[in-house]
Structure 1
Amino acid sequence: MGRRKGTHNNGYFYRTGRGWHAVVDGKFVPLEYENGDRMRDRKASTAELKAAHKRALDRKPEDMIKPDRVTVLEVCKAYLEQVKSEGAEGTYNNRSRTLFDFCFGLPSRFLGDDRPKAKTSDYIHDGYGKLAVTSLKKFHLNKWLQAHPNWKGAKRSYIQAVLRAFNFAVESGMIEANPVKGYKIPKQNARVTYITPEQEKALCDAANPSLRMALQVCIRTGARPGCEFAKLTAAHVDDQGDRMTWTFKPEESKTKSLRVIRITDPETLKIVREQMRKHPTGPIFRCESGDPWRRDNLADQFRYWKKKLSTDKIVKGEVVRKAITFDKDAVMYSCRHTYAKRVLQGYWSGKATNIETLAKLMGNTPQICRDHYLQWCDHYSEPLWDNA
């Protein structure tokens, strides 16, 4: 949602999907032209907004927007405009998909100007966008989550997106109270599941070339699948011949600090160079359709092949591929945990390393790496026995 600060005592002007507004005496007030039409023009001048604000101050109290007239969809649109204005593209895209689902009950492929026409069978649930904010209950969040049984451990981030939208609306004066405040968010579970060499081989043998490349690169580099692997462009890469770095600026990084990924593996160097040749601009890693990978379709593809490989493949009554057992919590992000385990135990180099070095390689603090990976680190326990 756009925001402009007026002169002294003129407050703030907000623009939502319904047009420009101001907050007067804690109420969300629509701004109008002299003829009574709502001000919707994104490029409305500050002078026009100030004049409309003055008219709003003279308006009768009953003309102001009451909280029970604000819909869930309007809150979500306003929140997303604010997120977009802050320049957090990844956050904006992820929350757009989440809130679109919440409001319309449709998967994200129906989001955007070129969306297909939805059929009745495409709806996941009824959608809650048309509800007045005052009619939304925690019960509706329960129903929404029940419509997505595959979310499981990811429920936390989806719930947070909804709660943040309503918290923003309260802070901006759009609504008086968050209708789902206090909704219980599931505890965050640290997924330290890793992929064994046998599982990695089975996945790579079965998957399409694009996913195979994603698995290989994420396991060998420790890159975060969504905000590093999927976002990598040639501009991030510094090719130094026998080694390479990928550098993400603080505003691009999950931790909001400079992130440098160091690569010496010849096979990974070769893959990255070839992808940069194919895609000199934009993300270099693409899925089979030719579109850049996203965190959600990487997760979906991993989930699909994990399930498919968990049963025997039978052709004409004969087992041609035996089932592979995966940890129930194994996900695409497990590639990053696999990198951590293998680096700590010297899988590639033949020399085990310590938590502090791993933390620098992974772009984490030593404490986070201890919390997640200490059970795989012999460098921590051996000195204890040596000095006992």
Structure 2
Amino acid sequence: MARNRKSRRQQHGSAWHWKQTDCWYYTPSGTKKRQALFDEAGERVRGKDNREVAQLALARIKLAEELSPAGPVKSREWTVAQVCEIYLSDLTKTACPEWVVQCKYWLNDFCGYCGALTVHELKKKHLRTWLERHKTWNNNTQRNVIGCVKAAFNFCCKFDDLDANPVSSYEKPAATARVTCFSPEEETQIYAATNTAHALFLKGCILTGARPYSELAVVTADHVVETPHGLFYLLKARTPDGSFGHKAAKKTGKDRRIMLCDEMEQITRRLILASPKGSGVPLFRTMRGKPWSQSNGVQQFSSLKKKLELAEDRVTYTCRHTFAKRTLSGYYTGKPAGIEVLAGLMGNTPKLCWDHYAQWADDYNDPLWAALGKTKKKRKAG
């Protein structure tokens, strides 16, 4: 016998629970727009078991509508701070911890500037003026910040009762390719100027091309896999607690394999002796035995950069770009690799590697020169 779905529907004006947000809502008669229900303290009514609290909240709304001479009361005025708070509470459950920390910093800074404004009062000029106050943010950072702010308002429009996104049409600046890399001379200077733990961590980033803090810093002996070809680090897309195991896991849903060269294999086997399987201790740690994080890593590299007077665009992530350039140019093996191979080694898509690193790929640039009748000149011996 077919189930009667109509009998399970709530009538307009009744309180109903939405599993997506774990909140209670009601739909006013004559409309299709849901309205959230709030308790006496002004907090959203949450939890499937709080039906009585939701019905009481709905009764207060209906009573206010009946007693109001102007008709039904207007919907609650949203503030910018409330939008950001709701978005961050959901983001904490779905995004990787590094991205959550970054978004919290941006949105808290944004709320410090205009968080008390209502959504109706917020204009694109407020966002532009706030961005102009941060002189050190380049185009790529501004793109991420603008996308984060837009995502907060879009989330409340899609999954809550916010009417419109006031900054939806704000344009992002064009992205700029990251093309910085360490020269062999700079690499030697860095190893000599920093402590052994930091030098080993940076060397691991250069030899593997791994993302410093979301990949290499979390590797333990349990992530090491041995095959007839050699060792590699395996970061699962999902960890046992259900969170994402690496940065690209949410987007690709695939495990991350970090292949190791001979030198990196020797380093790994030595580190496993101090942090064996089952210990859960990261292989790469600071001089004090703490795991590397974006906090202590950035602080350590900033001091190093100041000491050596390195260019401003040199950061820890430059190690990953150095791996890309050396792989494409055949620095270690004498045989240049292609973009597709590099994408597999770095855990990126071929398109992303093409956009960022194609200028270093001789296999793609040489045919362009050859089409103009030019070939690479042979270097003289000595």
TM range (shorter): 0.7 to 0.9
93-102 or 75-84: which moved more? Answer: 93-102
Residue 29 in structure 1 maps to residue 32 in structure 2: no
Q: Where does residue 89 of structure 2 map in the other structure? A: 81
Q: Which of 82, 107, 110 matches 1:102?
A: 110
212-221 or 43-52: which moved more? Answer: 43-52
Paired residues of 2:120 and 2:166 also in contact (CA < 8 A) = yes
Summarize deviations over 1:331-382 as a string: whole Å, max 9, x none: 3222111101112222223433333322221122333333332332333455
Q: Partners in 1 of 2:43 and 2:354 — Cα distance?
A: 54
What is the deviation of 1:38?
A: 4.9
Q: Partners in 2 of 1:339 and 1:383 — Cα distance?
A: 24
What is the deviation of 1:164?
A: 0.7
Q: Partners in 2 of 1:204 and 1:174 — Cα distance?
A: 55
Shift in alpha-carbon separation, 1:381–1:177, aligned structure 2, 3 A: closer
Q: Partners in 2 of 1:144 and 1:296 — Cα distance?
A: 25
40-49 or 368-377: which moved more? Answer: 40-49
Letter in 1 for 2:125: F
What is the deviation of 1:305?
A: 3.0
Q: Partners in 2 of 1:146 and 1:287 — Cα distance?
A: 36
Q: Partners in 2 of 1:134 and 1:288 — Cα distance?
A: 52
What is the deviation of 1:201?
A: 1.9
Q: Partners in 1 of 2:185 and 2:288 — Cα distance?
A: 28
Alpha-carbon RMSD across the aligned residues, in angstroms, is 3.6
Shift in alpha-carbon separation, 1:92–1:279, aligned structure 2, 3 A: farther
What is the deviation of 1:196?
A: 0.7
Question: Helix, strand or coil for the counterpart of 1:246?
Answer: strand
Paired residues of 2:37 and 2:58 also in contact (CA < 8 A) = no
Question: Helix, strand or coil for the counterpart of 1:329?
Answer: coil
Question: Helix, strand or coil for the counterpart of 2:225?
Answer: strand
Summarize deviations over 1:77-136 as a string: whole Å, max 9, x none: 1101222233544433332232223224xxxxxxxxxxxxxxxxxxxxxx4333322333
Summarize deviations over 1:37-94 as a string: whole Å, max 9, x none: 556676561544663575377352755542xx32222111110122223354443333
Paired residues of 1:20 and 1:39 also in contact (CA < 8 A) = no
Letter in 2 for 1:352: P
Residue 204 in structure 1 maps to residue 201 in structure 2: no
Paired residues of 1:29 and 1:56 also in contact (CA < 8 A) = no
Residue 302 in structure 1 maps to residue 310 in structure 2: no
Residue 177 in structure 1 maps to residue 177 in structure 2: no
| Unmatched runs of 5 consecutive residues or more in structure 1 | 1-6, 105-126, 311-323
Q: Partners in 2 of 1:154 and 1:98 — Cα distance?
A: 10
Q: Partners in 2 of 1:341 and 1:191 — Cα distance?
A: 12
Show the 5 A alignment for 1:132-171: 132-152=118-138, 153-171=140-158
196-205 or 234-243: which moved more? Answer: 234-243
Residue 55 in structure 1 maps to residue 53 in structure 2: no
Q: Where does residue 263 of structure 1 map in the other structure? A: 260
Q: Partners in 2 of 1:377 and 1:223 — Cα distance?
A: 20
Paired residues of 1:28 and 1:64 also in contact (CA < 8 A) = no
Q: Partners in 1 of 2:191 and 2:26 — Cα distance?
A: 56
Show the 5 A alignment for 1:114-129: 127-129=113-115
Paired residues of 2:222 and 2:277 also in contact (CA < 8 A) = no
TM-score computed with the length of structure 1 as normaliser: 0.72
Paired residues of 1:95 and 1:161 also in contact (CA < 8 A) = yes
| Unmatched runs of 5 consecutive residues or more in structure 2 | 1-7, 66-70, 238-243, 374-382
Residue 293 in structure 1 maps to residue 292 in structure 2: yes
Residue 273 in structure 1 maps to residue 272 in structure 2: yes
Q: Partners in 2 of 1:308 and 1:135 — Cα distance?
A: 47
Q: Partners in 2 of 1:289 and 1:180 — Cα distance?
A: 46
Letter in 2 for 1:273: I
Q: Partners in 2 of 1:364 and 1:155 — Cα distance?
A: 22
TM-score computed with the length of structure 2 as normaliser: 0.73
What is the deviation of 1:165?
A: 0.5
Residue 223 in structure 1 maps to residue 210 in structure 2: yes
Q: Partners in 1 of 2:38 and 2:90 — Cα distance?
A: 19
Q: Partners in 2 of 1:64 and 1:208 — Cα distance?
A: 63
Letter in 2 for 1:29: A
Residue 368 in structure 1 maps to residue 369 in structure 2: no
Letter in 2 for 1:142: R
Q: Where does residue 91 of structure 1 map in the other structure? A: 99
Shift in alpha-carbon separation, 1:191–1:385, aligned structure 2, 3 A: closer
Shift in alpha-carbon separation, 1:278–1:184, aligned structure 2, 3 A: same
Q: Partners in 2 of 1:346 and 1:189 — Cα distance?
A: 25
Paired residues of 1:163 and 1:180 also in contact (CA < 8 A) = yes
Paired residues of 2:37 and 2:44 also in contact (CA < 8 A) = no
Summarize deviations over 1:286-317 as a string: whole Å, max 9, x none: 4566554334654454344334422xxxxxxx
Paired residues of 2:24 and 2:46 also in contact (CA < 8 A) = no
Shift in alpha-carbon separation, 1:332–1:383, aligned structure 2, 3 A: same
Q: Partners in 1 of 2:37 and 2:46 — Cα distance?
A: 14
Q: Partners in 2 of 1:280 and 1:52 — Cα distance?
A: 52
Question: Which structure has the larger Rg over C-alpha atoms?
Answer: 2
Q: Partners in 2 of 1:383 and 1:177 — Cα distance?
A: 51
Residue 131 in structure 1 maps to residue 100 in structure 2: no
Question: Helix, strand or coil for the counterpart of 1:230?
Answer: helix
